[in-house]
């Protein structure tokens, strides 16, 4: 990142290649739509390029990048919310029934994440999918480590309840 920050164009490729899968998973965990996640990833790299001079080499790179990724996601949410307020729904989709308690073992990770509130889902994705530490997640989200731990704990409790308390590892 330091080389890229100083204008070394050759440093951008390896940075993008090595971190794109991680941030794609972050966005996919947030929006659960591959095309939208890919669009968010492109927007993310454009913002990284624009904000690269604000990165301080003495600080860890990933929390800085996750803070930008989080802002990209929030901006996308606001745009979609504003757009949906102006659009009329032509046809209502039928409600999907919740899985029976016996089907809990067949529920995929994305379905479980979808049941969590946005802030808890974001913390779980950063902690468990991206492998960031509590301190890094706190820095990326602009909150305290205690708040991150509390959101993670509440998410774990909700996931356990969704799994029917079967003792699956979360």
Would you say residue 48 lies in a domain?
Answer: yes
One domain, residues 82 and 126: no
Q: Please report which residue ranges of 99-144 form alpha helices under DSSP H.
A: 109-114, 118-124, 134-141
Q: Residue 104's pLDDT is what?
A: 47
Domain endpoint, select from 86, 120, 155: 86
Query: Which of helix, strand or coil describes residue 144?
Result: coil
Per-residue pLDDT of the chain (170 residues; tens, 9 = 90+): 989 998 888 999 999 999 999 999 999 999 989 999 999 999 999 999 999 999 998 999 999 999 999 999 999 988 887 766 665 555 665 555 555 554 445 667 788 888 899 889 999 999 988 888 999 999 998 999 999 999 999 999 998 888 876 555 55
Q: Which residue has the tokens 């356990």?
A: 160
For residues 146 and 135, the answer to whether their CB atoms sit within 8 Å is: no
Would you say residue 95 lies in a domain?
Answer: no
Write out the residue range of the structural domain in which residue 13 sits.
Answer: 1-86
What is the C-alpha separation between 115 and 158, in angstroms, rounded? 8
Residue 156's φ and ψ, nearest 5 degrees, are -60, -40
Cα-atom radius of gyration of the chain, to the nearest Å?
18
Torsional sign, CA 138, 126, 156, 161: positive
One domain, residues 109 and 169: yes
pTM value is 0.58
One domain, residues 82 and 1: yes
Domain endpoint, select from 43, 62, 86: 86
* CATH code: domain of residue 135: 1.10.10.10
């Amino acid at each position: 990142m330091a080389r890229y920050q100083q204008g070394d164009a050759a440093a951008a490729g390896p940075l993008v290649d090595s971190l794109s899968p991680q941030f794609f998973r972050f966005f996919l965990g947030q929006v659960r739509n591959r095309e939208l996640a890919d669009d968010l990833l492109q927007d993310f790299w454009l913002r990284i390029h624009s904000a690269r001079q604000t990165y301080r080499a003495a600080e860890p790179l990933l929390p800085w990048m996750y803070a930008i990724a989080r802002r990209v996601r929030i901006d996308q949410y606001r745009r979609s919310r504003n757009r949906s307020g102006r659009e009329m729904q032509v046809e209502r989709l039928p409600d999907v029934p919740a899985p029976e308690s016996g089907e809990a073992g067949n529920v995929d990770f994305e379905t479980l994440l979808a049941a969590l509130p946005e802030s808890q889902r974001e913390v779980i994705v950063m902690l468990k999918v991206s492998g960031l530490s509590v301190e890094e997640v706190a820095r990326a989200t602009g909150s305290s480590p205690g708040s991150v731990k509390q959101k993670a704990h509440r998410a774990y409790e909700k996931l356990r309840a969704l799994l029917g308390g079967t003792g699956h590892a979360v």
